[in-house]
Structure 1
């Protein structure tokens, strides 16, 4: 089976899918409209096809970016001719989905990711029609969460299958690491790109409350990840007088992230907007109790009161209360952590997720053979 993925070569999600599919016996290739920052395709023997128009990405005004897709179409058609796929699979409905729809190739699989379906169609009537067009051309539509299924159903009557984006349980697991904190520290932590939509400001405010209410405890805050808000958040931490108890790691490689999960006592994700929440799944895989906001797909990956606690979004007081509850109930937190890993094994085991995707491809090809 030959599958050509249409996706951003610099996305870790793209890399994970392409490499895992190859390891599962699928001959996978990749078409990208951006140049790779690292040669991972070459390292894994995955054919990479690039658009001839990457250099125009930052030169043209945003209003012309969709026109660029028409210019990139010949490059995609050449890639299809050279690679000879049985299936093309576009990841991200608004950009690569548009290219896939315009290519005219079938079978065409389309995966929605989040902002492509939550934000893009709301920009204008034209954007909404582009999404409807892309979905109308897809032979199979996939989503990582049920909340995203419901959003996608606003633009299509087609069946949408949920394909969870899980984790490698052999990599994300509870283990002893060399922590940057003292052994007795209670570490509240998160792993996120530092952008406004991920609610890190609310986390800092919640931590201040927890710190003030528990001055006799060595409570620390660990913020793993970099992003455009890093300077703003560091200033906020100083303004809140929590900077001495807060560690910002800055950007880190995906390889080393599991080390940080194992330094955390309680994982917190207070996103204002998020379609799925891979980091929460990773945290639960490492047996951490979690506190999450009730935004988007986050409540789907947490069993409230069993593997973690779901709180109201944009409510630092509610988050602080939940965090404090777990700080003072360590045994409950450990139990939640173990139940969290058990749930991840059942639903978000990456090995099973890849097998599901291969099964979807096989079902599509079998249905064609019957026509």
Structure 2
């Protein structure tokens, strides 16, 4: 098949999809606002400028022109508010759009215009693909989508990479980061972005934790976030006087590198206000980290408070500190949580199985023929 994706080439999630289909022998095109080196595909960069109305319109026409030039068998956009709209505007079918969570949960509430853009994109799609069960209900209730055009396909994780092990690599990383062998490690893997990972609230919990357990180390990953926000966080750390207990990782980490960090971590944090079931949670728990997460419904798909995770109010640093302290003082829960979580993820979130489901869906749409609207 000739498959055209519309998404951000720098995104690790987009890269996973395009690489997988390219490795399967498909002709893969990716229309992206920014450049990234991805082997085996044809990248079409649109050089997106700062999003203003005129640039937004120009981008839409650029994408439409490229799509009709490529003439793929399948058009698939990732993230509804921008890429989904551009692909929908191309008026090309079969057209699928993957919702990512924040696009429909958060951005739809930011303005009337954004909600209408999202509604237009979803209605133009032949198939809408969420990853979480709760998103299916949300899409039908909030956007009046018919149930038969929603196909839930969890993306899943690569269990050949994310698993327990990496002992030598963990030992080497501990030395590099100057973390003693007996120190507990708490990882915040969601990226340093304001109003997303709530890292500023995690910061406020740290003094409460180290007052009781001074050897605890907190690691923050920048991911795709800005260097300026990382600098703000570093200033906050210095102001709180907790520099020796915090490590900032500015470099972008590959999946194998992430697996080493998860294996080194005793606890992992995921504290957004809205989400789908995050990859970072899945990756962390199969590597043995104890998940402490926001008390939001989407996580309850797999996680039960006190059984295989702990829920907290993301606005309450005191509650977060108490849960971290509890984990440190009850280390036996790490093994019991791991056994439950490993089984859940292996049965429901296997990357290899779920990518093949997507491929079969593409084949079904191609066989049915192009839809004209």
Fold similarity call, TM over 0.5 = yes
SS in 1 for 2:335: helix
Alignment partners' CA distance in 1, 2:103 and 2:354: 22
Shift of 1:366: 4.2
Q: CA separation in 1, counterparts of 2:188 and 2:117?
A: 35
Aligned pairs for 1:228-239 within 5 A = 228=226, 229-239=229-239
How far did 1:78 drift? 4.0
Q: CA deviation at 1:74?
A: 4.7
Report the TM-score, using the length of structure 1 for normalisation: 0.87
Does the 8 A contact of 1:198 with 1:273 survive in 2?
no
- Give the TM-score of the pair, scaled to structure 2: 0.87
* Cα separation, 2, equivalents of 1:244 and 1:111: 41
Structure 2 residue 181 is matched with structure 1 residue 193: no
Post-superposition CA distance 1:239-285 (Å, at most 9, x none)? 22222111112233224222211211111222233333211111012
Q: For 2:232 and 2:134, how far apart are their aligned partners in 1? A: 31
| Cα offset, 1:27, TM superposition | 3.3
- Is the partner of 1:194 in helix, strand or coil? coil
Paired with 2:309 and 2:60, the residues of 1 have a C-alpha distance of 46
Conserved in 2, the CA contact under 8 Å of 1:289 and 1:340? Answer: no
CA distance in 2, matches of 1:249, 1:344: 27
User: Does 2:121 align with 1:134?
Assistant: yes
* Distance in 2 of aligned mates of 1:242 and 1:299: 33
Match of 1:71 in 2: 61
Q: Secondary structure at the match of 2:163?
A: coil
SS in 2 for 1:355: helix
Shift of the alpha carbon at 1:158? 2.2
Partner of 2:162: 172
The residue matched to 1:188 in structure 2 has which SS?
Answer: strand
Alignment of 1:103-122 (within 5 A): 103-122=90-109
Residues paired across the two proteins, number:
354
Shift of 1:301: 4.8
Structure 2 residues without counterparts, runs of 5 or longer: none
Q: In 2 relative to 1, CA 73–168 (structure 1 residues): closer, same or farther, beyond 3 Å? A: closer
For structure 1, list consecutive stretches of 5 or more residues without a partner in the other structure: none
Which stretch of the first structure deviates more once superposed, 194-203 or 141-150? 141-150
Q: Distance in 1 between matches of 2:64 and 2:366?
A: 26
Residue 298 of structure 1 deviates from its aligned partner by 3.7
Alignment-derived partner of residue 87 in structure 1: 74
Structure 2: distance between partners of 1:129 and 1:212: 49
User: How far off is 1:17 after superposition?
Assistant: 0.4
1:308-364 CA distance string (max 9 Å, x none): 112222111221222122111111112212322221111111111211211222332
- Structure 1 stretch displaced more, 284-293 or 141-150: 141-150
Is contact 1:97-1:110 (8 Å) kept? yes
The DSSP-based 3-state class of the residue aligned with 1:167 is: coil
After superposition, the Cα gap between the structure-2 partners of 1:18 and 1:325, relative to the gap in structure 1 and judged at 3 Å, is same
Evaluate the alpha carbon distance shift between residue 108 and residue 174 of structure 1 in structure 2; reply closer, same or farther with a 3 A threshold.
Answer: same
1:15, distance to aligned residue in structure 2 (A): 0.7
SS of 2:80's equivalent in the other structure is coil
**What is the match of residue 3 of structure 1?**
3
Contact conserved, 2:60 with 2:90, CA < 8 A, in 1?
Answer: no
Q: CA RMSD in A?
A: 2.2
- Mapped partners of 1:235, 1:73: distance in 2: 41
Q: Give the secondary-structure state (helix, strand or coil) at the position aligned to 1:90.
A: strand
Native 8 Å contact 1:93 1:134 kept in 2: yes
Distance change >3 Å, CA 337–CA 207, structure 1 → 2: farther
Q: What whole-Å deviation, never above 9, does each CA across 1:8-59 have from its counterpart, x for those lacking one? A: 1221111100111223444322222x2313x21xx2x2122333xx2x613x
**1:222 has 2:219 as partner:** yes
